[in-house]
Chain A
Amino acid sequence: MAKHVPGKKGSYIMLYALSTCPWCQKTKRLLDEMGMEYYYEDVDLLSGDARRDVMVDIERWNPNRSFPTVVVDDSRCIIGFQENELRNLLKV
């Protein structure tokens, strides 16, 4: 189950990350700094069916299945650490 980080409510933000990836850590820090509520999954810490299911979700948005992948409101996807894009999309 995805981890929940409480914060300002607004868009539904789902971050797919790897616990070992500095770009993913920077994305988490940016969302923390913006004070947004978000959910994240460290995919490398999953195994078996849970990992497979999450990878199917990611592939819908990002066929390269790279990290970080941020899905906003189940309608927009930002691939990689893209500070300006994320700030613009979330209007922060």
Chain B
Amino acid sequence: MSAEPAVSKEDIDQLYSRLKKEAEATGYFLNPDIDFTKSLVKGLLVNEGRYGYWACPCRLAEGVKSTDLDIICPCDYRDADLGQYGTCY
């Protein structure tokens, strides 16, 4: 695979703030461990650079959007995981 797409701290902070607002507006909360959550956000941005969409950083994407639709954040498994683990995968 080619070099990792560059992701800046500013991009991460900006998307983190946006996702926090959007999550809270719809009754969800981001993980209060901000460093951990920002590393997830970085993973989303890396995957956006690679594939053009926010494939879940913790699931293996095929790189074909139609195949990966179920793992694009917020993924199809979020609410089931929240019910089972109290957090998304």
Contact = CB atoms under 8 A, between A and B. Distances in A.
Given A22-B36, A45-B1, A47-B1, A67 B43 contact: no
Given A44-B60, A65-B60, A20 B1 contact: no
Contact of B58 (A18, A46, A47): A18
A89 interface: no
A65 to B, nearest CB: 7
Interface in B42-89: 42-43, 46-47, 57-61, 89
Interface in A51-72: 55, 65-67
B39 interface: yes
B39 A22 contact: yes
Contacts of A45: 1
B40 interface: yes
Contact of B60 (A22, A25, A67): A67
Given A18-B57, A44-B60, 7 more contacts: A18-B58, A19-B4, A20-B42, A22-B57, A44-B61, A67-B58, A67-B59
Q: Which 10 A-B pairs have the closest CB atoms?
A: A20-B43, A20-B57, A22-B39, A21-B58, A45-B1, A20-B46, A21-B57, A22-B36, A22-B40, A47-B1
Interface of B: 1, 4, 36, 39-40, 42-43, 46-47, 57-61, 89
